[in-house]
Structures are given as C-alpha cells and as structure tokens.
A and B are shown apart, each in its own frame.
Chain A
Amino acid sequence: MTGGYQAVLDAVTRVRGVRGAMLVAGDDGLVVAESLMEGVKGNAVAALAASLAKRFRRASEAAHCGQPRFLHLQASEGTLLAAPAPSGMLLVVVADADVNVGLARLEMLKAAEAVA
C-alpha cells in the first residue's frame, strides 16, 4: 500500500467505533488499499459495498437525484458508509452501529477529496 493511501485511511479509522476503512475500485469491487481490524473480511466488504453503491446510484439517478456523494447503510449491529472519490474509487467504512456518523462522514469526505 502506498503511504499516501495509508495516511488517508488512518485518519478515518481514528474515529471511535470505526472497524475498518478501505479504498475500493468502484466498478470492480476489488480492494485497492485497506486498514481493517481483525475479523473484517476486506474482499467481501469491497465487493458488496461497491455493488450496493452501484445499485443505489442507479436508483438515485432514476429519481433525478444525481450520483450519491455519501451512502449510509444502518443495520442493527453495524454501519456501512461509502463515499465515492472523484478518481472512481470508493472509500468504504465498516463501523459499529452507534458510531458518530457525523464525524466519520466529515473524515470520509476529506479523505475522498485527498485520493482524487
């Protein structure tokens, strides 16, 4: 992993409750760089988050809301966040259900800009 990507991901994983952050090739759903806690399945997160983001993008465009800049899936035992970077990559975060989403979102949008 390049040092640049590592620093970007580290800033996101410092948010309390974040279990892991990764950069994913948006169209392919493959891991580009990752910073994950033990037990988080990187390849599964990458493939599934990219697919979810792609499907939601189609719905959003059909509704004339444009491309999503930030996606938040809330589940009973965890949270999945995704922010597309202008480069075509997708910044993905897996976190606890009660993570401070506002803070994670801010760090993710900054990080997404940084990898543009």
Chain B
Amino acid sequence: MADDVRAMSAELARDPASLVFLRLGEALRLRGQVEAAAKVALAGLEHHPNVADAHDLYARVLADAGDLDGAADEWNIALSLEPRHAGAHKGLGFVNFQRGDLDAALDHLELALAADPKDPAVVRALATVREAARQAAERPAAEGASGGAATGVFAGLEGAEDRLLLVDPRGRVLGGGLRTRKGDDVAEEVAAYLAGVSQEADRTARLLELGEWRWILAEGEAGHLHLSVPAAGTLLLLVRDRAVPSGRLAILAARAAEVARRWLQAQSL
C-alpha cells in the first residue's frame, strides 16, 4: 500500500496533469491522511476542473473532514458535469440522510442505484433510509410538522441562510438570507438594490438588442456576486468569497436556481 502511494506520488510529480491523482487521493483518504488527500484533490482540480470524478474525490475528503456543506457543493458540481455520476448521487444521499432530508436522500440513492445497480453499499444505504422514512411516516403528523431548518428554500446548499437570497422584482425577500462576515443581516437592503439592478438589466438588454438577460456576474473587491432569474418574477443572488473562480460560481448558481425553481413550484401547488 505504501509502495503504491509512493509510486503514484512519483508519477504525479513527473506529470502533474496526470489523472493518477484520483487514485492517490483516494488511497490517502482511506489511510486517514485527510489533509494530504485534500491537497492532492485540490491540485488535481486545478488541472481538471471539469472532471466529475475529481469533484467526487474532493467531496469525499471534505465529508471525512466533517464539512458536509462543502462536500454537498462538490457533489452538486460533479452532477452538473455528469448528471448520472453514481458517486455523487451516493454522496448526496449520505449528506441528505445526515441532515434528515429523507426524501432527497432516497431520490439520490435511487439514482445512484440506477447508475450502478451492483453497488452493495448503495443497496444497504437504501434499505436503511427506507426504514428511516417508514418510521418517520408512522410518527404523528404534528411531530413531523415541527421539522425545522430543512424547510428553507435552499436547505442543503452551502450558504443557504446567509449567502443565497431569493427576491421578487420589487425588492422583497422571498427566501434564503444574506449576512456579512460579521453576521449583520443585509438581506433586505441588498434585495432593495437588486430590484433596480434587475430593471436596469431588463432595459439594457432590450435597448441594446441583446435578447433576454440570463445572469450578471460581478467580481467585487471583497467577494463575488451572481444574479440570475431562476423563474419568471424572481431573482436569485449568490454571494461567495472572491477566491471562488467565476466558472464555479456559475455552476453553484445553476444548482441553487434549480433548487429555487423546485421550491417556487411547491409554493404554487
């Protein structure tokens, strides 16, 4: 085993763009060397940002380190690159189970099983989650209704309560939240400004004959913002640290938009 790690490390040193980092990172993770595994995964992502397996590896490392939000983000990115990625569905099944969102956990595990029907770990996990779901359904309705945090618009996404904001075109907050690093709530103030931004974007796109505007990305001095229209009559703002590359920001925003659309649909039912 140690020899394998040495050999893979040497190969990676010779060719930093080699995909061997996937096996090396996983080997280090299984040996409990989480920090080393994280370094290998991140270095691999630098060279292969569009490889779903690379995000899957990094997600598993983050999950081992206890960062479930970060892991979920990475698995979501993997799915945006490869919608049938079994590892990502399995990972999200695990994260959602940990969070108590059994429906989402079942969805992901069933998709994982569809992608790889022979994976015994998925079969076992499905049985566990189905049993938990059956027990939950038997509990009194009132107990279930006191649900809690998982009922938010962006429940399950990183920054659900402080870096993702859903507003209407008149500047009223619909869901999510926005807080500064110090913890100050700036959601309503920013929502009010976003109404003006949206109107100006509408007008700019119309008068300059650019078609319909889809999103606006701003690289700020202290953070990046991504504003999009997940559904008619709504605006979605995603705020992230400036270290997050703009391409990744777009992927995260697309994922949040999908979640927002589902939530809006549920509200209108």
| Touch A–B, Cβ below 8 Å | yes
| A73 contacts chain B at the CB level, 8 A cutoff | yes
- Mask for A47-91, Cβ within 8 A of B = 1, else 0? 011011001101110111111111111111111100000000000
What are the residues of chain A within 8 A of B205 when measuring CB–CB? 73, 75, 78, 80
Say which size band chain B's interface belongs to: 35 or more
What are the residues of chain A within 8 A of B216 when measuring CB–CB? 52, 56, 71-74
A98 to B202, CA, bound (A): 20
Residues of B within 8 A of A (CB): 178, 180-181, 186, 189-190, 193-194, 196-197, 200-201, 203-205, 207-225, 227, 237, 239, 246
A55 to B156, CA, bound (A): 31
Q: Give the shortest distance, in Å, between A80 (CB) and chain B (any CB).
A: 7
Task: Count CB-based A-B contacts (< 8 Å).
Answer: 129
What are the residues of chain B within 8 A of A71 when measuring CB–CB? 216-219
Q: A51-B200, A55-B197, A59-B190 are in contact. Are A44 and B178 (CB under 8 A)?
A: no
Q: Is the CB of B193 within 8 A of A66?
A: no
Interface size on A, residues (CB 8 A): 33
Q: A52-B200, A58-B193, A77-B209 are in contact. Are A64 and B223 (CB under 8 A)?
A: yes
What are the residues of chain B within 8 A of A72 when measuring CB–CB? 216-218, 246
What are the residues of chain B within 8 A of A62 when measuring CB–CB? 186, 189-190, 193
Question: Smallest CB-CB separation from A51: which chain B residue?
Answer: B200
What are the residues of chain B within 8 A of A78 when measuring CB–CB? 205, 208-211
A62 to B179, CA, bound (A): 10
Q: Is the CB of B196 within 8 A of A55?
A: yes
| A12 contacts chain B at the CB level, 8 A cutoff | no
Q: Is the CB of A66 within 8 A of B221?
A: yes
Question: Smallest CB-CB separation from A95: which chain B residue?
Answer: B210
Q: Is the CB of A48 within 8 A of B203?
A: yes
Residues of A within 8 A of B (CB): 41, 44-45, 48-49, 51-52, 55-56, 58-60, 62-80, 94, 97
Q: Is the CB of B201 within 8 A of A97?
A: no
Q: Give the shortest distance, in Å, between A112 (CB) and chain B (any CB).
A: 12
Could you name 19 residue pairs across A and B whose Cβ atoms are closer than 8 Å?
A: A44-B207, A48-B203, A48-B208, A52-B201, A52-B216, A56-B197, A58-B193, A60-B220, A63-B180, A63-B239, A64-B222, A65-B218, A68-B220, A68-B225, A74-B217, A75-B205, A75-B210, A77-B209, A80-B210
Q: Is the CB of A73 within 8 A of B204?
A: yes
A75 to B201, CA, bound (A): 9
Q: Is the CB of A60 within 8 A of B225?
A: yes
What are the residues of chain B within 8 A of A65 when measuring CB–CB? 218, 220-225, 239
